[in-house]
A and B are shown apart, each in its own frame.
Chain A
C-alpha cells in the first residue's frame, strides 16, 4: 500500500516537469512581442530592445527556462507585465473564486446524479429510468453559457433573488459572497449532472448483472442492502475517475461561466492575460492549472484502492 502511494506520488513529479517545458516553449511560439505590447504603439525599436534586455528575453531560451524554473521553485511566479502585481497572490485569489464554485457544483452534482443513476440502473426500463436518462440527455445538450444566461434572467432579473453583477470576497462579507455564488453553482451543477448520471447508471447496470449481486440476494439481503452495500462501491469506481477528470478540468477555470456571471475567476484571468501577452500570468496560470489537474487525479488514484482493493498491490 505504501509502495502504491509512493509510486503514484513520484510519478506526478515528472508529469508536472514535462508540462512546465510545454508551457514555456508554447508561450515563446505565440506571435507577438510582450516588450512591444507593454510599451504601447509609440515605442521606438530602441526602447523595445532595451525592454527586452531588461526582461531577460535576449538570453538563450534554455537559460530563460532555467531561470524561470528557479524562480518558481522559490515560490516566485514573477510580476504581471501590465500591472506589475505579483502573479502568485493574484492567481491564488482568483483561483479561490473558481474553486469555491467548482467544488460546490461538483459536490452537489455528485450527490444528486450518483443516486439517481444507481436507481435508474436498478429499475432499468421503468419510467424512473426513462425519465432520468431523458433528463440527463437534456442537460447534456444544453450549452452552459445559455443555461447560465437563462438562470441569470429568471432568478436575477425577473425574480431578483440574487445579485446579477459583481462579486464580493468571502473575507469581506460571507453572506453576500454566498449570494453571488448561488447562480453560477446552480448552472454548473446542472451542466455536470447529465454526464455523471449517465456514467453512474452505465456502471451500475454493468455491476447489477454480475454473479456476486445475485449471490448477495441469495443470502437474503434486502434490495437496498444489495444495492448500496454490494453494488455501490463496485459501480462507483468509473464514476470516481470521471469526477476526477471533471473536477480537474473545471478547477482550471470556468471561463464561460465566469464571463456570464462577471466573476473574477482563474479562467477569466488567463483569457485576459493571453490577449494582453502578459507572459508571467499566462505561464503561471497554465502551470497552476496543470498542477491542480495532476494533483486532483493523483488524489483520485490514491482513493482507488478503497473501491477496488485489487489495485493496491
Chain B
C-alpha cells in the first residue's frame, strides 16, 4: 500500500438505520460515517437524537424492541458486523471493540471486585492465566495513577468516586488493546475538572495503542478539543459532518447553528452591581456543617466536617454563584441556608433575623420566602401528582387563599415560566426534562420568594435547553426581583447568570468577587484550574465564532 492511498478505515458505517420493533419508526435514519485507524470521531447530538443507539448498534447491544434495519452495513476491519454471527460478535465485543459507558455509578457491577471485572475480558479474549492477568491489571492501574493498585483489585466499585470509576472502566477496556473504543458520553456525569482528567487519559491510552475512538457526546465544545471530525445528529439523522473546527466556526445546518449558539457566552451588559444596597438579604458568618460519621455499636461517631466556616453575604435581587467540584461542600452549604441541614455552628441572618435560633414553626413560616430548585428534574417531582397540583401545593400553606385564586395564581406562574396552562392536568413523566425543570422553577417562585437556591439546575439538561432555562431564570429574576444562590460546577452556566461568584474548595470559600473579576483575573490557584478546564472545554473556537 502506498502512502497516498487512503488506508482502510477501522469502522465504516453505511446507511445505518435502527428501527423500533415492526412499527417502521426509525431512531437512527440512514447514518453513514467512517473512522480511520487511530483517529477520533465524535457523534454529537442532544438526548433523543439517536446517537447512543447508533453506537450500541455497532456492538449489537440495542435494547429489546430496537433492531438494525436490513439495508445497514457496519464494516469493521472489512467484516460486516450487521450480518455477523452472534459468536463472532462476542469475539469482537470487548476484544476488538471496547466500550465505555456514561454512568460510572451504574456501569460497574456493584457486587464484583474491580479485579474480577478487569480480569473477565482478558481471560475471554487473550486467554491469559491468573498470574498474568493480575500483573497486567496491576500495571494498568499504576499506569492510570490509581494509588495502591493491589488494594484496588480487591475493592468494590462503591469504594471509588465517579471519576475514579470511569478511569478504572477505561483502563479495564483498554487492557485488551482494542482496535476501536466506543465512548458513550464518558464524562457527562462528572464535574469539570474530573471530566478533563478522564478525557485526557482516554486520549493518552488510545493514542498509545493506536486505538480509534468513536466519542458520543452532547457537548460540542468539549469534543472539539479532542476530535478531528464530528457528525452532528438530530432526530436520528446526521445533519452535518465535517472537521470539528469548521462545524463550530461556520455551522451550515440550522440545528448545528442552534447548538453552537447554545455554547456558553457571557451575558451582554455584564453583571449587575447590587452591592450598594444597604442591608444584605442574607448574611452568613463562620457557618460550619458536620455530617455525622459512621459510628459502631460501641464507638462514638467522628463527624465529618463538610463546610468549614464560610462567611458570605447575598444582596437583594442578585445572583451569587457558588462554584466548586463534587465534594467541595457547595450543595451542603446551599441546603444549610434554606434549613434542610442544620449547621454545627456559625450564624445565618436573614434580613437581620438569626435563623439558627428560630423555632421550627418560625422556620416553616420563613420557608415561603426561601425556595429551592433541585438538580434532577426527574426525581424532584412526585410522579403521581399532576403538574398543576405540584405547582399549587405551596399555596395551600396560605389558608386565606380560595381555590379559584389559587388556580389563577398557578396559571399566572405557568405563563411566567413559559408552560402552557393546559399542562396543569399532566403528570411529570409526560413532560420533557426542560419542561420539568420549568415546573420545578414554577413551584419555587409561586409564592414570590425573596430568595431561591438553585442546586445545579441545568446540569441534567441538554445544551440548547440549558440555555433556555438559564435565560428563564434571569428573566424571572428581573421581573420578580428574587435573589438567587446558583450552585454549580459548570462555569459555562455560571458565567451566563451570575452577578458575583464564590469559589468553594474543600469546605472553604477560596475566592469571592464580581463575576468578571473572578473570570478574567482569578487569584486563587484552584479557581485558575477550574477556569482552565472549563475554557478548554467550552471556548476553544468561541472567539472565532
Complex: A281 Cα to B494 Cα, angstroms: 72
B124 contacts A219, CB within 8 Å?
yes
In the complex formed, the residue of B with least CB distance to A236 is: B111
Complex: A114 Cα to B258 Cα, angstroms: 52
- Residues in A neighbouring B250, C-beta threshold 8 A: none
A7 contacts B120, CB within 8 Å?
no
Q: A215-B108, A234-B109, A310-B110 are in contact. Are A220 and B101 (CB under 8 A)?
A: no
Interface string of B52-96 (1 = CB under 8 A from A): 000010010101100000000000000000000000001111110
Tell me how far the C-beta of B7 lies from the nearest C-beta in chain A, rounded to whole angstroms. Answer: 26
A66 contacts the other chain (Cβ, under 8 Å)? no
A218 contacts B94, CB within 8 Å?
yes
B296 contacts the other chain (Cβ, under 8 Å)? yes
- Residues in B neighbouring A211, C-beta threshold 8 A: 101-103, 106-107
B528 contacts the other chain (Cβ, under 8 Å)? no
- Residues in A neighbouring B92, C-beta threshold 8 A: 220
A218 contacts B158, CB within 8 Å?
no
A17 contacts the other chain (Cβ, under 8 Å)? no
Question: What is the size category of the interface that chain B forms with chain A?
Answer: 20 to 34
Tell me how far the C-beta of A212 lies from the nearest C-beta in chain B, rounded to whole angstroms. Answer: 5
B99 contacts A218, CB within 8 Å?
yes
- Residues in B neighbouring A220, C-beta threshold 8 A: 90-95, 121, 124-125
B158 contacts A309, CB within 8 Å?
yes
B301 contacts the other chain (Cβ, under 8 Å)? no
Complex: A217 Cα to B93 Cα, angstroms: 8
Q: CB < 8 Å: which of B102, B111, B169 contacts A309?
A: B111
Q: CB < 8 Å: which of A6, A125, A210, A222 contacts B106?
A: A210
- Residues in A neighbouring B112, C-beta threshold 8 A: 229-230, 233
In the complex formed, the residue of B with least CB distance to A217 is: B61
Residues from 318 to 350 in B contacting A, C-beta threshold 8 Å? none
- Central interface residue in A211, A221, A233, A307, by most chain B CB within 10 Å: A211
Complex: A87 Cα to B231 Cα, angstroms: 80
Tell me how far the C-beta of B454 lies from the nearest C-beta in chain A, rounded to whole angstroms. Answer: 28
Q: A215-B101, A220-B121 are in contact. Are A310 and B106 (CB under 8 A)?
A: no
A216 contacts the other chain (Cβ, under 8 Å)? yes
A214 contacts the other chain (Cβ, under 8 Å)? yes
B33 contacts the other chain (Cβ, under 8 Å)? no
Tell me how far the C-beta of B178 lies from the nearest C-beta in chain A, rounded to whole angstroms. Answer: 10
Q: A211-B103, A309-B158 are in contact. Are A218 and B59 (CB under 8 A)?
A: yes
Complex: A230 Cα to B169 Cα, angstroms: 16
Tell me how far the C-beta of A112 lies from the nearest C-beta in chain B, rounded to whole angstroms. Answer: 24
Nearest 3 CB-CB pairs, A to B?
A220-B94, A219-B94, A220-B93
**Measuring CB to CB, which residues of chain B are less than 8 angstroms from any residue of chain A?**
56, 59, 61, 63-64, 90-95, 98-99, 101-103, 106-112, 120-121, 124-125, 156, 158, 169, 294, 296-297
Known: A214-B101, A215-B169, A218-B101. 7 other contacts (CB 8 A): A209-B63, A218-B94, A220-B91, A220-B121, A221-B94, A234-B109, A309-B111
**Measuring CB to CB, which residues of chain A are less than 8 angstroms from any residue of chain B?**
3, 6-7, 10, 124-125, 209-212, 214-222, 229-230, 233-234, 307-310, 313
Q: What are 25 A-B residue pairs whose CB atoms fall within 8 Å in the complex?
A: A7-B296, A10-B297, A124-B64, A211-B103, A214-B56, A215-B101, A215-B108, A215-B169, A218-B61, A218-B93, A218-B94, A219-B121, A220-B121, A220-B124, A221-B94, A221-B124, A222-B90, A233-B111, A234-B110, A234-B111, A307-B111, A308-B110, A309-B110, A309-B156, A309-B158
